[in-house]
Amino acid sequence: MDYEQEQQLVANIKQYVSENLPLSKMSDEELEEKVEEIVSQRVSDRYCSIEQTLSIIQQVYSSIRGFGLLDSIISDDTITEVMINGPDHIFIEQNGRLFKLNKQFENQRRLEDVIQRIVGLAGREVNQANPICDTRLPDGSRVNVVLPPIALCGPTLTIRKFSKTPMTIEKLISYGSITQEIADVLEMLVKAKYNIFIAGGTGSGKTTFLNALSNYIPKDERVITIEDSAELQITGVDNLVSMETRNANASGAGQITIRDLIKSSLRMRPERIIVGEVRGGEALDMLQAMNTGHDGSLSTGHANSTQDMLSRLETMVLQGSVGLPLEAIRQQIASAVDIIIHLSRLRDKSRKTMEITEVLGYENGQIVLNPLYVFEEDENSTLTKVSGSLRRTKNPMRNTFKLRLYGIKEDI
């Protein structure tokens, strides 16, 4: 049976099931058993391999109760990203490279049904009044939806898949992103409650790196995570509160922003605040939280270098407070942020840690940086130590106190 015949059979069985079975009264298990029985009857008079029969059963069932074509794609652990540009154009990222799939949705209406099912699972809504939506799948994978008429090619769906097993520092070492020496330094920085910002471009692995760093958080601390769409996989922390934003409803009411959540988190006795990604005016609230006794906070942001991350933070703070003088903003950043880690995705599709930089302080109108490790393209292609130790001049007492408090030596 070729592909066209298989798809025709799937369409016929789906129509028969929809018209003849009481779907609203059937459980998922009952429906799957019935579909398996019907498919077995339909293919009994022709040659059909076991793999193809199972594929037909899965396609029919998924088109009724699952995500249809997406189910088989999402279940493939080698696929890290799915990009759907209308019903006829499906692309995937596999092993760091993009491919176009020789598959398509039946029509635009079917793709829209799948999108509404995905969005509805997370309690969100997307329609012509609100055609853009960020949400997640039950497994934590990040989802972005853009509907027509904003998306000219038809409904656009982008899914960033996450591994079923949380990322660890050991895995980053095995992938060549960092070395054991760097891992030991990062462990010291996290345990000593340094405020850390992770910067990088799209797909550079910021969230993955943040997940790995979170493994160093002492298990007896109270941690608050704040995200647009919950995707962090923090394990081993019992006292964990995870919060995500909420979009406004059709009447424009009920919106909960990251700024709202940060302000609320300050009343929840947090020992650490983790903001999945800072991208707007909430940067000011995040910096103020870091400056008001909530050391050890972690966050990520889009930037092409550590210096660019500082410029981006300045711009984002201005979005939240237009009248604030630039000098005051820079002083706030210099006082709040201790370490900036820059990640990048290289041309060979690998993800590397490019730089680890300490924020020294504010002098002569500028934020002073002290690069600790910088990536060098040598035979090992890894981070090279360029500075002997942490030498925070902006508040030496605070730095020395942190290190001594946790019994950590000052030289790194």
Side-chain-side CA neighbours of residue 181 (13 Å): 9
pLDDT, average across residues 136-156: 89
Please state, for a pLDDT cut of 90, what percent of the chain lies above it: 26
The pLDDT, as a whole number, for residue 14 is 81
pLDDT of 357: 92
Cα separation, 356 vs 34, in Å, equals 57
Token digits of residue 52: 């193809």
Nearest Cα residue to 36 out of 22, 49, 17, 19? 17
Q: Are 286 and 274 in contact (CB under 8 A)?
A: no
Residue 64 has pLDDT above 80, yes or no: no
**Model pTM above 0.85:** no
d(CA 158, CA 160): 7
pLDDT digits (tens, 9 = 90+) for 5-25: 887 888 888 888 888 888 777
Q: What is the dihedral of CA 385, 391, 393, 394, to 10 degrees?
A: 80
**What is the pLDDT, as a whole number, of residue 29?**
81
SS3 344: strand
In DSSP notation, 78-146 reads TEEEEEEESTT-EEEEETTEEEE-S---S-HHHHHHHHHHHHHHTT----SSS-EEEEE-TT--EEEEE
- Band of pLDDT at residue 48, cut at 50, 70 and 90: confident
227, 103, 89, 177: which is closest to 356 by C-alpha? 177
Cα separation, 293 vs 302, in Å, equals 25
Q: Is the dihedral of CA 373, 375, 377, 381 positive or negative?
A: positive
Tell me what the mean pLDDT of segment 34-43 comes to.
88
Mean pLDDT of 161-189: 84
- Decide if pLDDT at 412 tops 50: no
User: pLDDT (tens digit, 9 = 90+) per residue, 306-354?
Assistant: 999 999 999 999 987 878 899 999 999 998 999 999 998 887 777 888 8
95 versus 201: the higher-pLDDT residue is: 201
Question: Strand order in 142-146's β-sheet?
Answer: 97-100, 90-94, 79-85, 156-160, 142-146, 132-136
pLDDT per residue over 78-87, tens digit each? 888 999 999 9
Q: In 303-353, where does DSSP find H-type helix?
A: 306-320, 326-336
